[in-house]
Structure 1
Amino acid sequence: MKGDRVEIVVESGGDVLRTYDVVATKAGRRVEITNRRGVIEVSEVTRTGTPVRTARFMASRVVALVEHPMDGED
C-alpha cells in the first residue's frame, strides 16, 4: 500500500554503514522482500505483481532490514 517502506542497512566496508529505503510511491503498490541464494531483493510491485523498482543486496552485507508498514490512520 502507498506509504509502505523498507529500510535496509548495509555494511560497505570497515565501520561504514549505508542506509537505503524502498518506498511504495503510488496507491495500490506494495513492497516485497525475497531472499534467494544469498541475495536479498526488495521490490516495489504493482497490484498485479509486476516489479517497478528493485534493489538487490548481498545477504552477508545486510546488517538490518526494517519494515515500516503504512499507518492505518487517515
Structure 2
Amino acid sequence: MSLGVGLAIAIMQLTKTTHPPAGADPLVIITGGASWNFIINPVLSGAVVLVIVALIFNNLSKTRKYSKFWV
C-alpha cells in the first residue's frame, strides 16, 4: 500500500499536479478490494470531467486563460 501511495505522489510531483488527497486512491482500491475498473470509473472519468469543466469555465472570460502551461 505504501508503494502505491508513494508512486501516486511521485507522479503528481513530476507532473506538478500534487493533490495529497489523491494519494488515498491507491489505499481505497487496495483495502477495498476494488477492481481495476474503479480506476477508470470514477477516478479517471471524474478527473476528465473536472478538467473539461475547468477549461470551459475559466476560458469564458477573455482576461483569463486556463491553463497557462501543459506538461
Fold match, TM over 0.5?
A: no
More strand as a share of residues: 1
More helix as a share of residues: 2
**More relative contact order in 1 or in 2 (CA 8 Å, sep 6+)?**
1
Task: With the length of structure 1 as denominator, give the TM-score of the two structures.
Answer: 0.25
Larger radius of gyration: 2
